[in-house]
Amino acid sequence: MEITELINPENIKLDLLSSAKEEAIGELAQLLFNSGFIKDKEEVVKAALIREKEFTTGVGLEVAIPHAKSSFVIKPGVAFGRSRKGLEWDTVDGLPPKLIFLIVVPTDAHDQHLQVLAQISRKIIHDDVREKLLQALEAESILETLK
Amino acid sequence: MKIVAITNCPTGIAHTYMAAEALEKAAKELGVEIKVETQGSIGVENELTTSDIAEAHSVLIASGVATDLSRFKDKAVIEWPVGKIINEAKEAVNAAINAKAKTPTGEVSEAQESFTDSLSHKGSGLLKHLFTGISYMIPIVATGGLLIAISFLWGLNPPEGSFGATINTLGGAALSFMIPIMTAFIAYSIADRPGIAPGLVMGYLSVNVIGAGFLGGIVGGLLAGYIALFLKKVKLPQALSGISVVLFIPLITTVVGGLLMIYVIGSPIAGLMTALNNALTNLSTTSMVILGAVMGLMTAFDMGGPFDKVAYTFSVGLLAEGITAPMAANMAAGMTPALGLALATVLFRNRFTQQEREAGKVAWALGACFITEGAIPFAASDPLRVLPATMLGSAVAGALSMLFGCTLAAPHGGIFAILIPKAVGNVLLYVLAIVIGAVVTALTVNFTKSIGKKS
């Protein structure tokens, strides 16, 4: 399967309006709601925040990967948002995250989707990938980088 | 230098894989070899083999949930929170590089040795899969067995609806899952999640349909696991691959494995049981002592399987006719395997793994209550060394019980039956027969477990 089944230009916001964690997750969830990945924005945000309480998904490297596994998710997907000045987020290295990936998975996700999500997760670790994501001028080049 | 690592996290969606990638990247930069097993929602991938672990300098665990460390007994283990490792991968790998190898303690290394020995002997990870099944089975044996034992406090035959009967029902419910849990997790160990459903079915078939007991369960678990593993490699059309793990593999495995169990393994067993029953009837007209010994061999050979079942039903049948000596021999033979092995875990600690020593503590109670299943975790993990010992001990106990002219009027109860006045004839000699049988089992297992070891 193609990564484009999980993330498309509609799920990408190059400049997030929010300045803090909860609103940013909401902003990204709205994208996923608009493009038909989830059926209830509030429930998905709630699931992501509950997950966040176990331990922060602000994994360092200016990256945060909030994720929600919920029955309110229609199909697995990823929304990407970028914040130039970084978000208020309790991260492991104290640096505010600039690259936010909201990952949503239905409770009965198939292996294939999970495998693609795993690939994306692995990509983000590399400095050149993050650099490109920070520099990208349009949604298409974000997609290209994550492929 | 080589390092092995495991990454996992509660949802298994993102951290597991980011951490794995971060560790691989950091290891590359630091010039060490690393192999990272990911335990995510896809299941276990890039699984560490016994030889990976053997070669590794140390083990790095990046975990967000409880991780089973039993594979790494004599290795230095560094644990790092998975949430932090993405940012601190280099520090974590450095810590693993600088970790001092744990000096293996004598007893652990010996138990490990017997484990790896048998592994190389069998030429595959067969035993690892058995061990996985057994480790998940032990809690249910202990729970069910102890509940039944406790229910005897209300008498051997508590009236229906009474509290004692309810506790007994709880214990029976738990024990009925014992073999299915073992087979499910043997299959899980081989084929991961798709193995669980067919594994459960094979376990149920072995116990409730073809009556093949735990030995049949081991066969069923391996069947389910390897069939599912094979099917995982089958390439399916794109449209079907999504349902492969949830439907295709479990369904086909259950059908193929189930038919093999019922027709290839089940039919001969039914014939065997008839033949055994006839043989016992013939024996009972010649020598009671030999009958006791033979029933002992049968009881301890498959503990709940066809041989045991024939011996038990035969004794219970005679009980109805007022012939009580075979029942006594049968119960003595059914108590000694667990008692003897429990004794062996105390006398010969070094012969057993930590897990077996824990199981040994419960086995005391189970053996004393004539719950022969208490010996199964030991027998399933090393049948060729354990079964001869339990069979010899039970044969001795059964023969002695006959020789001493002991009788028993109840078909169950163990020590609780012994404590009831007049339930057992020649009670002191009866206890002696059981004790001797248990000692024989313990001494024999100490000997058999010393065979086939590298110095």
d(CA A125, CA B88): 12
Q: Out of B14, B42, B64, whose CB is closest to A111? A: B42
Going by C-alpha positions, the residue among B369, B395, B361, B391 that lies closest to residue B379 is B391
Residue ranges of the alpha helices (H) in B285-375?
288-302, 306-320, 325-347, 354-368
> How many angstroms separate the CA atoms of A11 and A91, rounded?
24
B88 and A60 in contact by Cβ < 8 A?
yes
Nearest Cα to Cα of residue B94 among B36, B27, B147: B27
d(CA B367, CA B355): 18
Contacts of A61 in chain B (CB under 8 A): 86-87
Least confident range from A87-96, A132-141, B47-56, B235-244: namely: B235-244
B9, B137, B197, B245: the active-site residue: B9
H-type helices in B152-305, by residue range? 163-176, 178-191, 196-204, 213-232, 238-241, 249-259, 267-284, 288-302
Arithmetic mean of pLDDT, A13-19: 92
- At B354, list the tokens: 């930590």
Let me know how long chain B is.
Answer: 455
The CA distance from A55 to A78, in Å, is 20
> Looking at the predicted structure, is the pLDDT value of residue A74 above 70?
yes
Q: Identify the closest residue of chain A to B39 by CA–CA distance.
A: A118
Point out the residue among B11, B243, B244 whose CB comes nearest to the CB of A67.
B11
**Cα(B191)–Cα(B188) distance, rounded to whole angstroms?**
5
Between chains, do B13 and A69 touch, taking CB under 8 Å as contact?
yes
What residues have CB less than 8 Å from B447, skipping those under 6 apart? B389
Spatial CB neighbours of B31, under 8 Å, sequence gap ≥ 6: none
On whether any CB of chain B is under 8 Å from the CB of A5, the answer is no
Burial of residue B139, with CB atoms counted within 10 A of its CB: 0-12 exposed, 13-18 middle, 19 or more buried:
middle
| Chain A residues near residue B241 by CB distance under 8 angstroms | 112
For A86, left (φ over 0), alpha (ψ -120 to 50), or beta?
A: left
Of B412, B408, B403, B391, residue with least CA distance to B433 = B403
Separation CA B137–CA B148 (nearest Å): 17
Residue of A108, A114, A122 with shortest CB distance to B18:
A122
Query: Between A and B, how many CB-CB pairs are < 8 A?
Result: 92
Question: Is B38's CB within 8 Å of A61's CB?
Answer: no
A57 to chain B, any CB pair closer than 8 A? The answer is yes
Q: Residues of B with CB below 8 A from A108's CB?
A: 246
Residue B102: the pLDDT is 55
The interface pTM score, or ipTM, of the predicted complex is 0.80
Phi and psi dihedrals of B145, rounded to 5? -60, -45
Scan residues 105-124 of A and list those with Cβ closer than 8 Å to B: 105, 108-112, 114-115, 117-119, 121-124
Q: How far is B184 from chain A (nearest CA, A)?
A: 21
State how far the Cα of A34 lies from the Cα of A27, in Å rounded to an integer. 11
Q: Do B382 and B390 contact (CB within 8 A), yes or no?
A: no
Residues of B in contact with A105 (CB under 8 A): 11, 13, 41
The answer to whether A130 contacts chain B (CB < 8 Å) is no
- Closest-CA distance, A61 to chain B, in angstroms, reads 6
pLDDT of residue B364: 94
Strands A99-105 and A77-82: antiparallel
Helix, strand, or coil here: B422? coil
For chain B, list residues with pLDDT below 50: 103-124, 454-455
CB atoms inside a 10 Å sphere around CB A134 = 12
The residue in chain B having the minimum alpha-carbon distance to the alpha carbon of residue A115 is B42
Please report the pLDDT score of residue A112 as a whole number.
66
Whether B64 sits inside 8 A of A126 (CB atoms) is no
Please list every residue in chain A whose beta carbon sits closer than 8 Å to the beta carbon of residue B25.
Answer: 125-126
Q: How far is A15 from chain B (nearest CA, A)?
A: 23
**Nearest chain B alpha carbon to A104:** B13
User: How many other CB atoms are found less than 10 A from the CB of residue B36?
Assistant: 23
CA dihedral for B155, B300, B381, B269, sign (positive or negative): negative
From B18, B81, B243, residue closest to A125, measured CB to CB: B18
A49 near A22, Cβ under 8 Å?
Answer: yes
Closest approach of chain A CAs to the CA of B8, in angstroms? 12
HEC sequence for A31-77? HHHHCCCECCHHHHHHHHHHHHHHCCCEEECCEECCEEECCCECCCE
Query: How far apart are alpha carbons B267 and B313 in whole angstroms?
Result: 19
Are the beta carbons of B38 and A122 separated by less than 8 Å? no
Q: Which two tokens stand for residue B377?
A: 């975790």
Among B78, B284, B303, B323, which residue's Cα sits nearest to residue B211?
B303
